[in-house]
Amino acid sequence: MSKVTVHKDAAAPAVVDQKPRFETIQDGLGRTIQLRKLGPLEQGRIVMAVGGDTAGNQTYMTGFALPAAMVVYIDDTPFGLPQTQKQIDSVLSELGSEGMEAINQHFLAKYEAAQAAEEAKKTAAEGLSVEQAAAKN
């Protein structure tokens, strides 16, 4: 049987993720809100935090609970991942209508940008210019 020896190169450069960790938005009150991306584990924990009956309410989950769980900072005030319904309610209360509107506008802009990019990709694949694609419709 062969013997394999592995040597770790201490001089190997570490891979550093240069992407910003949080997305930053401003609300109507001038507050800076930083949002994290929730992975499957965090999303599951939010479902457990709100409970089974509430988790079945898609409007509440996508419109309130998950956006609230994404908040990392409002100005300099840190927010951890909510573990209970009371903590979600606290973040929602802190955000208020201005903060929720800013978050909703942020997601709407991202959705519209993704749609425009997809349409541009589709148009390019068909070999049409933007004007030709508009005339086609």
Q: How far apart are CA 137 and CA 135, in angstroms?
A: 5
**Whole-structure pTM value:** 0.72
Q: Are 62 and 76 in contact (CB under 8 A)?
A: no
Domain boundaries, the chain: 23-127
Letter for the amino acid at 72? Answer: V
Tokens for 42, please give them: 């965090």
Q: Are 81 and 42 in contact (CB under 8 A)?
A: yes
Q: Which residues make Cβ contacts (< 8 Å) with residue 87, sequence separation at least 6?
A: 49
Q: How far apart are CA 111 and CA 130, in angstroms?
A: 20
Q: What is the pLDDT, as a whole number, of residue 120? A: 84
Q: Are 49 and 83 in contact (CB under 8 A)?
A: yes
Taking 50 as the pLDDT cut, the residues of the chain under it are none
Q: What is the pLDDT, as a whole number, of residue 81? A: 95
Q: Which helix (H) or strand (E) holds 24?
A: strand 23-26
Q: What is the pLDDT, as a whole number, of residue 31? A: 96
Q: Which residues make Cβ contacts (< 8 Å) with residue 104, sequence separation at least 6?
A: 63, 67
Residue found under tokens 């959705």: 111
Q: What is the pLDDT, as a whole number, of residue 136? A: 61
What are the tens digits of pLDDT across the range 98-118?
999 999 999 999 999 999 988
DSSP letter (8 states) at residue 79: -
